[in-house]
Amino acid sequence: MSSISSPRPFVYAGSRLECSGADLSELAAQFGTPLYVYSGDAIAERARMLQQEFAGVLHTICYAVKANSSLAVMRMLGELGCGFDIVSGGELERVRRAAPEALGRVVFSGVGKQAWEMDAALDAGILLFNVESEAELEVLAERAQALGKIARIALRVNPDVFAETHPYISTGLREHKFGIAIERAREVYQRAVRMQGIEPAGVSVHIGSQIRSVEPFAEAVRRVRSLVEDLRGDGMDIRYVDAGGGFGIEYGKAEFDPAARVAEYARALREVLDGLNAHLLLEPGRFLVAQAGALLTRVLYTKQNGKKHFVITDAAMNDLIRPALYQAHHEIVPVVKDERAVQVADIVGPVCESGDFFARDRETQELRQGDLVVLLDAGAYGMSLASHYNTRVRPAEVLVEQGRARLIRRRETLDDLLAAELI
């Protein structure tokens, strides 16, 4: 049987699972399933945890919007003083609507920025463009000159630091599409400083996601520090160091103390940057929201195929694709604990793909038709990766704060899904 560990806000009150004091059975009855449920209290706690550990350093927490782009979550983080790390013009528009006061705390990353996205970001007065190629730099200079603006930039450098994580979310090696080789960066900066409309102001690095060791972060930032010192020696006013995100969590049953891990992470970065007198930018996403969220789903059917037992839920890979995409592990627990036998089953969805599974050969309490279960740690890259595959509507979302739940995204209808199509 799975157990809930302390970093998660999903805990049993007697035999019934709650999220920050809200009964999940009641949420299912009120809002239906599948349903994403987030603890605003847990998200705020993680944000404050980072802010407190870096309190002695000039810093800004720039939440990685791609992890969970809910407007309500973004508004809450903006009110806590966070900035935002965006990777598209659409995400910029989300910042404008959710936290317009934070537009000056936005960093714009991504390898394929389009001219219209650059224009929108320049008009918004964002803090920094994280430039990922020389070709992008040229287009950004053209757009800044056309609009009569100055684009503050950091080159995203590729430090060739290995981080042990899934290959799909590793970004810090030479063979990856991201960034500019750190060996060439000084030359590119010297070119950038001569461009009209461009102001070199920082150096950026991001080596991947779901990294659970601090050493790769420290090594990457150590290489960035050396570059900053060289650039300052060349006469450039480099005042921002963007250390990226990627700080990992535990998705399984292993012990995980987020406060201790943040303290270790902060200590390592502070030591590397000591005396540099730079404004540190951090881009956490998963760490802030993953364990604060879960996908609530109902068992539709159970079946036996030979020796294999299947539990079929009303949630599917279009609602949470991480297991199919990354072979990701999510703990799966019942909303109501009973004294039932233990079973081993594949827990799957209704989508017409063999890859539509949440777990294979997973041990749980016996699950029956009509039971509610939750997939834990689904607050990051769950709803933001959801799709309409098989013409399925996406789930509703609920935010729980101090025991009170409110709807932050209504369940889609088929009319919503088909509205953009023409016959």
207-264 per-position pLDDT tens digit? 888 888 889 899 999 999 999 999 999 999 999 999 999 888 999 988 899 999 999 9
Residues 83 and 206 in one domain: yes
Look up 19 and say whether it is catalytic: no
The pLDDT-based confidence of 163 (bands split at 50, 70, 90) is low
Residues 186 and 100 in one domain: yes
For residue 4, being part of any structural domain is answered with no
Contacts of 122 (CB under 8 A, 6+ apart): 143, 144, 147, 149, 151
Q: What is residue 162's predicted lDDT score, i.e. its pLDDT? A: 60
| CB-based contact 384:71 (threshold 8 Å) | no
For residue 247, being part of any structural domain is answered with yes
Residues 192 and 270 in one domain: yes
Q: What is residue 175's predicted lDDT score, i.e. its pLDDT? A: 53
For residue 423, being part of any structural domain is answered with no
316-325 pLDDT, tens digit per residue, is 999 999 999 9
Q: Which of 247, 262, 286 is the last residue of a domain?
A: 286
What global pTM score does this model have?
A: 0.94
Q: Can you give the three-state secondary structure of 194-205, one letter per residue?
A: CCCCEEEEEEEC
CB neighbour class for 134 (10 Å; exposed up to 12, middle 13-18, buried from 19): middle
Residues in the chain: 423
**SS3 label, residue 146:** helix
Residues 260 and 296 in one domain: no
Could you give the number of structural domains in the chain?
2
Residues 59 and 185 in one domain: yes
Question: Is 285 known to sit in a ligand binding site?
Answer: yes
Q: Which of 267, 286, 305 is the last residue of a domain?
A: 286
For residue 232, being part of any structural domain is answered with yes
For residue 2, being part of any structural domain is answered with no
For residue 3, being part of any structural domain is answered with no
Q: Which of 250, 268, 286 is the last residue of a domain?
A: 286
For residue 121, being part of any structural domain is answered with yes
Residues 313 and 413 in one domain: yes
Q: Please state whether 208 falls in left (phi above 0), alpha (psi between -120 and 50) or beta.
A: left
For residue 411, being part of any structural domain is answered with yes
Question: Pairing between strand 332-334 and 342-348?
Answer: unpaired
Q: Which tokens sit at 17?
A: 């699972």
Residues 216 and 281 in one domain: yes
Contacts of 16 (CB under 8 A, 6+ apart): 23, 24, 25, 335, 336, 337
Q: What is residue 169's predicted lDDT score, i.e. its pLDDT? A: 40
Whether cis (ω within 30° of 0) applies to the bond prior to 34 is yes
CATH code at position 213: 3.20.20.10
Average pLDDT value over all residues in the chain: 94
Residues 28 and 45 in one domain: no
**SS3 label, residue 165:** coil
Question: Is 246 known to sit in a ligand binding site?
Answer: yes
75-107 pLDDT, tens digit per residue, is 999 999 999 999 999 999 999 999 999 999 999
Which of these is catalytic: 19, 62, 82, 352? 352
The boundaries of the domain holding residue 374 are: 10-32+292-418
Residue 1 clears pLDDT 60, i.e. is over it = no
CATH code at position 378: 2.40.37.10
Residues 272 and 365 in one domain: no
d(CA 252, CA 301) in angstroms, rounded, equals 26
Residues 93 and 133 in one domain: yes
Question: Is 197 known to sit in a ligand binding site?
Answer: no
Residues 270 and 317 in one domain: no
For 326, phi then psi, to 5°, come to -115, 5
Specify the amino acid at residue 54: F
Residues 160 and 276 in one domain: yes
H-helix or E-strand containing 282?
strand 279-282
